[in-house]
Amino acid sequence: MSLSRFLGKSVLYLAAFSAVFPMVWTAINAFKNRVDIVTPTPLFIFTPTLDNFAYVLGRDSVAAGLVNSVIAAGGSVLIGALLGLPAAYAIARYPNRWSADIQFFVLSLRFLPPVAVAIPLMVIWLDLGFYDTRLSLIVTYTLLTLATVIWLGVPAFARVPKEVEEAARVDGYGPYAVFFLIALPIASRSLIGAVAFAFVLVWNEFLIALMLTTSDAKTLPIVASELTQLGRDVPWGILNASVVLLSIPPLLLIGILSGLLNNAFRRKSN
Amino acid sequence: MTSVKTLVSSIAYACLLASSVSSVALAAECSGTIRVLAQPRDGLTLLESHKDEFAKLSGGASFEIDYLNENDRRAKTKADASTIGKYNVYYIDEANVALFASAGWVAPLMDYYPAEYDYADFDPGRQKVATYDGKVWFAPLTGGGDLLVYRKDLLEAAGVKPPTTLDEMKEAVKKLHQPDKGIYGIALRGQRGSGANVWRWMPYFKGFGGEWFDGNEPKFNSEAAVKATETYLELFKYSAPGTQTGGWDESVGAFTSGQVAMLVESTPLVGMAIDPKSSQVAGKVGYLPPPTPLTGGGYGHGLAIGTKANADDASKACAGLFIAWATSKENEQRRLEANQFSELNRTSIMTSDTFAKLYGPDLGQALADTGKVTAVNFWQSPLWPDLGDRWGIILEELIAGSRTDIKDGLNELEGFAKELVARSQ
Amino acid sequence: MTSRTRLPAVFLAPPLLILAVLAFVPTAYAIYISFRNRELSRPDGSFVGLANYIDLFSDRRFVNAIGVSLTWELVTVTLTLLVAIVLGILMFEFASARQRAVLTLIFLVPVILPRVSAAFVWKFAFHPLYGIVTYPYKAITGQPLDLLSNPATALMTVALVDVWQWGLFFGVIVLKLLETLPPQPFEAARLDHARPWEVYLYVALPMLKAPLISLTFIKMIESLRAFDLIYVMTRGGPGIVTETLDMYAFSQGFIESGRISYASSMAVLMMVATTVIFTVIWKRVKP
């Protein structure tokens, strides 16, 4: 018994180690000079340098990519939340004979291979003259954020106790007031998680941005991937620094997302 | 932030310009940001520290260079130029100058190149590759042919004399290959791409007498191609790890870190190999022209004026001024002083005393010798990138071993070539 | 009473309209251009009927890409579920509540990372000369290990990164699912002297059949998004052994030759295939 316990724990620790170590190693390398990275034996002790971050943050393309990412992700998540949350509420609280179909339609958008959406959209935006603009990215990403917010919002609203809403109605609240003043605040923790998830999804998105932008609207993942593929005299330290920079915003949201996960399952178990 | 995003709005004294294009440099009032899509070059990085100088010269314009690796740079310049054309200046090369020129994606350089920057000073070989259809399209940033670069110490220790023929080279490679000691016989390029594995394969193909096309008729499916491929694959058994899917960088990296006995590569390798800053084998390097019958792969990369982003003559003139300044004598002198051997293209610089002092007479002689065997190895057609890239994939499969029948690969390429020619008609 | 309100229409119509436009317009457009011979550098093009579709089936790379994509789906879905179930059970069995909370947070890290980051991190870790994962092998045998340029291992190596991202995350979900189970069946089985693995195999997992099938379904959908990893790690190489359908469609439609119409015909086939297959599975799973 104790042996299996030991083995089981070892596997868990190993998995936990594998989850964080690659990123930690990358972060360490981001503070190294090239000579300390290109060594036959990996180095743990070295003289740290901030040059890599200084270079990455000093490049115009990175700053532009950051702004584009913030605008594209922020804009599409905002639209997704403004339109998606009411829709999710309507599906959760006013079921009709199309509800199941609507939910399936929203889910089925996720079936579409991204490349299959990106190729025609590239042509459409080219023909309309909106290729490589932030506007076209926001509109395209709204497809992603809206569907995600609806999909994750429905169960969040469904978990709001019906009695509370009915009590409010008895107190004279209209249907809109119930949504804004009762359902929304009560479900807010899960809903923030849903919105955060949509943000991470768009922030990390790569293929669509790769096909819909060339210079003006390039997002951070594209800039980072260009840096990582530079090739010549591979500036490994710089690459590591740009990857770290790209990964920080999603990692900041990890607490909110694990909260979403906990909420989703806690109610079920009751 | 907005300054970064501003499209080039080169408000020039357009009327002034229209009357006298040749005096553009003095008359131009450029503003905004000139956007350049390039591949990383030390010479370009050096330029970025002299932005003030260009601002002064141009009357207020700045420039911003986006860097992509070689394969991506080729793909992205093509994608950008063929769609919306947001870049004012493209980095193009011998292999796609025909495509860019014939599609009208770049403007004839000399119409907007101020005469006082003396284009005729560029090395004649480089001028030749920058010319297509009788017109000059780019100002060179780098170029050259091939050299056989070897480790003197390893060859001496093994009692091998520097090879001058392909057979001698094969022998030497086999003898020097000692993977258990971390020394590999050779480094080749395995990575797909008309400018990657195909580029290194072509000297064998041409050296064995291969030809690409006769008019519209493919001629490459021949004994020469089979033999070239067999030789290339045979040598790959002795190629350093990482080169099977690697390109120039992996080969150079393997050699300069002391893991490779000899290799045939583009001339800039020498500059990197003898520079102690980038090479661990700096004092142990010898060089010769490529062994017979291999031909040298003549090439040249440079900057060209995009037509879509520079809609009017005034902005084309600003782009032209930038290109002229970026490739000027003054800037090449700076590169020479920074020991950037591979970034030098002007006769006046390469024959200067400083050059002789830095690199010695041997290198000059080797460059002159290899110039004699330098040839145009690729098919000079706008369709070349498509064809070359396709062969690159097949060649990569052969190198990786996921495909073994050479003849079958060539047949497939021939089918593709016929379809390609038919589609373009 | 509440059913009389216009709220559902007000709340549902605009988002659904937007979704429908954003989904159907590109789909229709993809079908339209797939019947033409448009190229990126030549915006004109003419009607060519089914020519693109016919060409596809004699295209060696397309046929190869179907195989690679199917292998990718099979490998990543199976391994992810396997890893998730093992980790979930181990956490449930051996970890205290506090440890579970910490592990949950840690196991979320890989899946939250941008795939571009994950791909780069692992590509560097697998570097034959400087990689930290390949270092022990190099130190022991003296030979470099180049997994990403070997046709036999390249796809599996990329798949490993996908499983790393999703397997750990799903492990957390399996744990949460196990926590929702009532304790009585476990106790009953223990009284019967069942071994722990028998308890899970014959009692716990069958009870979780429905959610596990849902997880499989979700992973099948997410595995369609192989592109980012492959683009950064191998670009479809060596040769074409890791060239999935999305990678091939991308290179035909954009980077390699700009044959938009040809790529669109691939996109249309992919849309039809995934929509049909997943709809059928969904209807089966959720009666």
Give the residue-averaged pLDDT of C66-90. 96
Which of A212, A214, A228, A236 is the best substitution to test chain B (most B C-beta atoms within 10 A)? A214
What pLDDT, on the 0 to 100 scale, is given for residue B350?
Answer: 85
- pLDDT tens per residue, range B47-93: 999 999 999 998 889 999 988 888 788 888 988 898 888 899 999 99
Give chains near B: 3+ CB pairs under 8 A.
Answer: A, C
* pLDDT at residue A270, rounded to an integer: 40
Average pLDDT, chain C: 89
Tens of pLDDT, residue by residue over A139-193, are 999 999 999 999 999 999 998 999 999 999 999 999 999 999 999 999 998 899 8
For range A235-244, the mean pLDDT: 82
Q: Which residue has the higher pLDDT, B374 or C230?
A: C230
pLDDT in the model for residue A234: 63
Task: Classify C35-285 by CATH class.
Answer: mainly alpha
pLDDT average, residue stretch B105-134? 92
DSSP, collapsed to helix, strand or coil, labels residue B301 as strand
Question: What's the pLDDT at C245?
Answer: 93
| Subunits with 3+ C-beta pairs closer than 8 A to C | A, B
Cβ contact B84–A234 (<8 Å): no
- Would you place residue B25 in the very low, low, confident or very high pLDDT band (cuts 50, 70, 90)? very low
CATH architecture of B2-143+299-351: 3-Layer(aba) Sandwich (3.40)
Higher pLDDT, A213 or A235: A213
Contact state of C180 with A269 under an 8 Å Cβ cutoff: yes
Cα dihedral across residues A170, A173, A175, A178: positive or negative: negative
Chain C residues within 8 A of A108 when measuring between CB atoms: 275, 278-279
What percentage of chain A carries pLDDT values higher than 90?
A: 44
Distance between CA atoms of residues B358 and B141, nearest Å: 20
Residue from the list B76, B386, B402 with its beta carbon closest to the beta carbon of C239: B402
Give C60→chain B minimum CA distance, Å: 10
Nearest to B114 by CA among B418, B325, B288, B276: B325
Contact C15 A15 (CB under 8 A): no
Task: Give the gap in angstroms from C-alpha B325 to the nearest C-alpha of chain C.
Answer: 31
Cβ of B389 and C256 within 8 Å?
A: yes
Q: Are C169 and C87 in contact (CB under 8 A)?
A: no
Instruction: Give a yes or no: residue A41 inside a domain.
Output: no
Q: Closest-CA residue in chain C for B81?
A: C41
Spatial separation of the C-alpha atoms in residues B419 and C68, rounded to whole Å: 26
In three-state secondary structure terms, A233 is coil
Per residue in B278-307, pLDDT (tens digit) is 788 888 999 999 998 999 888 999 999 999
- In this prediction, residue C267 carries a pLDDT of 92
Give A180: exposed, middle or buried? Use CB within 10 Å, 0-12, 13-18, 19+. Answer: middle
Select from A71, A215, A242 the residue whose CB has the most chain B CBs within 10 Å, as the one to mutate to test that interface.
A215
Q: What is the average per-residue pLDDT within A223-236? A: 70
Of C143, C151, C237, nearest to B192 by CB-CB distance is C237
B2-143+299-351 and B146-297+369-424 in the same fold: yes
Average pLDDT for residues B91-106, to the nearest whole number? 92
- Domain-located, residue A21: no
Q: What is the pLDDT of residue C166?
A: 94
**Residues in A touching C18 (Cβ below 8 Å):** 83, 142, 146
In a domain, A48, yes or no: no
Instruction: Report the chain C residue with the minimal C-alpha distance to residue B178.
Output: C143
Strands B33-38 and B285-288, sheet pairing: unpaired
Chain A residue numbers with beta carbons less than 8 Å from the beta carbon of C2 are: 94, 169, 175
Domain count, chain A: 1
Of all residues in chain B, what percent carry a pLDDT higher than 90? 55
Chain A residue with minimum CA distance to B40: A232
CA distance C241 to C234: 10
Q: How far apart are CA A61 and CA B66, in angstroms?
A: 7
Question: Is the model's pLDDT at B20 over the cut of 70?
Answer: no
Whether A214 sits inside 8 A of B72 (CB atoms) is no
Lowest mean pLDDT among A42-46, A114-118, C249-253: A42-46
A248: in domain: yes
3-state secondary structure B216-227: CEECCCCHHHHH
The answer to whether residue B48 neighbours chain A at the CB level (below 8 Å) is no
What's the pLDDT score for residue A269? 44
When pLDDT is cut at 50, 70 and 90, the band that residue A266 belongs to is: low
Cβ separation A239–C33 shorter than 8 A:
no
At the top level of CATH, the class of B146-297+369-424 is alpha beta
Structural domain harbouring A85: 68-269
Whether A188 is in a domain gets the answer yes
Q: How far is B373 from chain C (nearest CA, A)?
A: 31
* Residue B66 at interface with chain A, using a CB cutoff of 8 Å: yes
The pLDDT score that the predictor gives to residue C107 is 94
How far is Cα A156 from Cα A184, in angstroms, rounded to an integer? 10
Q: Contact B253/A214, CB-based, under 8 Å?
A: no
Q: So what's the pLDDT on residue C286?
A: 67
Q: Is residue C197 over pLDDT 90?
A: no
Q: Say which of C148, C237, C257 has its CB closest to residue B386.
A: C257
What is the predicted pLDDT for the residue at B238?
Answer: 95
Q: What pLDDT is attached to residue B23?
A: 42
At A231 the pLDDT is: 55
**Contact state of A239 with C124 under an 8 Å Cβ cutoff:** yes
ipTM: 0.87
Residue at A32 is within a domain: no
CATH code assigned at A170: 1.10.3720.10
Is the pLDDT reported for residue C135 higher than 90? no
Name the pairing type of β-strands B146-151 and B285-288: antiparallel
Query: How far apart are the CA of C27 and the nearest CA of chain B, in angstroms?
Result: 22
So what's the pLDDT on residue B9?
39
Mean pLDDT of B97-117: 93
**Tens digit of pLDDT for each residue in A122-141?**
889 988 989 999 999 999 99
- Output the six-digit token pair for C78: 């199976």
Q: What per-residue confidence (pLDDT) applies to B245?
A: 85
